Amino acid sequence: MRRAYKFRLYPNKQQEEKLFWTLNRCRELYNAGLQERKEVYKYAGKSISYYEQKRDLPEIKEIRPEYHDIHSQVLQDVLLRLKRAFDNFFRRVQNGEEPGYPRFQGRNRYDSFTYPQSGFFLEEKHITLSKIGTLRVKANRNVEGTIKTCTIKHESGQWYVTLSCEVNQPEPLPPSHEDVGIDLGITHFAALSHGEFIESPRHHRRAEKKLKKLQEALSRKKRGSHRRKKAVQAVAKAHRKVRNQRRDFAHKASRKLVNRYQVLVLEELQTSNLVKRPKPKQDEATGQYLPNGAAAKGGLNKSISDAGWGMFTKMLQVKAASAGRVVAFVDPKYTSQVCSKCGVISPKTLEERWHSCACGCELDRDTNAAKNILNKYYGAGSVPQIPPRGATVEALAF
């Protein structure tokens, strides 16, 4: 199993210059390799392989001796990235997707280089990089397993190192006899079928508010001004903070759930559909656009993307897989509309937070949904097959 660690690097001035220099040489090599691939295809009608390009590296070093100042595996990795870009391109073509031909890389796009096997050495507070030097690193977690690759990245004005490690498969957790339906939402980060809620911490909202303010301030600054530059940095910093908070929270929440439950059931959610803005409605008579709650949904959209469901779900799956737990997905149809006790559909608007059914079922809207999600996984065991009077046939489809 692979695990990645990302730490901040603190190069001194000279080291930073060397890092930028290395990045630029790598980018140059990438673009040259791309050019070659293009030309060979254009004039000879054939594809050039990674291995052919790799074989040319010694020759390149003869013509451009400064390339001796870069670890040779770093250069090989540049060509490997190019190969992957082409592999992805051909795969997209084959699948009939939007192909997107590999692009020449500008200064701002090409922001990392990788030591794929060797050429780096990590100590407590330092990392030694071949041909660059010994840099200060803030390693705030213990690195477990064997380090396989080391990537240096320049990201919003700061340097980071990502170490990808091979770790032994952890022992699966002892089986649990509890299972849970999980409804991911906006009012609560998650509602559980047993009636508990997982809330996202209050300080997240604060950090997000601050980010929003800084973004607004940035939009008022003049292009190219010193103040704008400062504002850009402030936004980047706040953005990082929000991102890190969300990641930490998702880690903790998913860990807790996986430790406790054997089967974890969620809705299959198409977040990309949910965050789309609604189409404006036109008045048939006048042709004027009608208010359709677009503004309200905009706020909602923001919360949806903020909640980071995708990241959370992914972590849940990864942790469950190594613990021997099961994460399952069910069709989200009617999960919030159907009564989890009797199966009758009781339509609600988004504003209605309470599920109240004629059968006597009284539940938080999201708890009801979480119960339905779990029921669906077990073949809707508690839903009667004959819809009671007043229910639509659709209840059967549930």
Residues binding Zn ion (CB under 5 A) = 339, 341-342, 357, 359, 361
For the chain, helix (H) and strand (E) counts, in that order, are: 11, 16
At its nearest, how many Å lie between Zn ion and the CB of residue 219? 50
CB nearer Zn ion, residue 330 or residue 339: 339
CB nearer Zn ion, residue 14 or residue 392: 392
Q: CA Rg, the chain, in Å?
A: 27
CB nearer Zn ion, residue 325 or residue 341: 341
Give 269-309 as a DSSP string: --HHHHTSPPPPEE-TTT-PEEP-SHHHHHHHHHHHHHHTH
CB nearer Zn ion, residue 278 or residue 390: 390
At its nearest, how many Å lie between Zn ion and the CB of residue 358? 6
CB nearer Zn ion, residue 77 or residue 183: 183
Q: What share of the chain is helix, strand, coil (3-state, %, to 5)?
A: 45, 20, 35
At its nearest, how many Å lie between Zn ion and the CB of residue 398? 13
How far apart CA 369 and CA 375 sit, in angstroms, is: 10
CB nearer Zn ion, residue 319 or residue 341: 341
Q: Are strands 354-356 and 362-364 parallel, antiparallel or unpaired?
A: antiparallel
Q: Are strands 158-166 and 179-184 parallel, antiparallel or unpaired?
A: unpaired
At its nearest, how many Å lie between Zn ion and the CB of residue 361? 4
At its nearest, how many Å lie between Zn ion and the CB of residue 185? 21
Per the structure block, which two tokens stand in for 336? 């919030």
At its nearest, how many Å lie between Zn ion and the CB of residue 266? 23
How far apart CA 294 and CA 301 sit, in angstroms, is: 10
